[in-house]
Amino acid sequence: CGLVTGKDYRNGIKEISQEICNAVIQVKHEKDLFYKNMVNQHGFKDSFFDCKCYVIAGLSSSLTDNESVASFELYKTSLHNVTIITYDEVLETIKRLSSILVE
C-alpha cells in the first residue's frame, strides 16, 4: 500500500493515499466497537482509557522526495492515538532488538 499518492495537493504537499486514510478510520472503528462490547456485554464502564492503536502499512523507503516525506510525517503526527508504522520501520526495530538480545 502506498503512503502518498504522488499527486500534489497544495503548495508542495502530497496527497495521502486513500488506503492509509481508510486504515486509520478502520482501526478507530474497531476500537470503538471493542469499547462498546466491553461495556454492553461485560459491564465495564470506567475501566477503559483511550488506548493507542497501530496501523502497520507501506514502506517509508517509497517516500522518494522531501514533499512526500514531509506530507506523510505531517499526517502521521497529526493523528490522535493512532500510530502508523511502516514495514521497514518494523524490520529495523526487530533488527535492533535482536542485536541487543544477542549481546
pLDDT tens-digit readout, 71-84: 999 999 999 999 99
Arithmetic mean of pLDDT, 23-43? 87
Residue 84, phi-psi category: left (phi > 0), alpha (psi -120 to 50), beta (remainder)? beta
43-63 pLDDT tens trace: 776 666 778 999 999 999 999
81 close to 50: Cβ distance less than 8 angstroms: yes
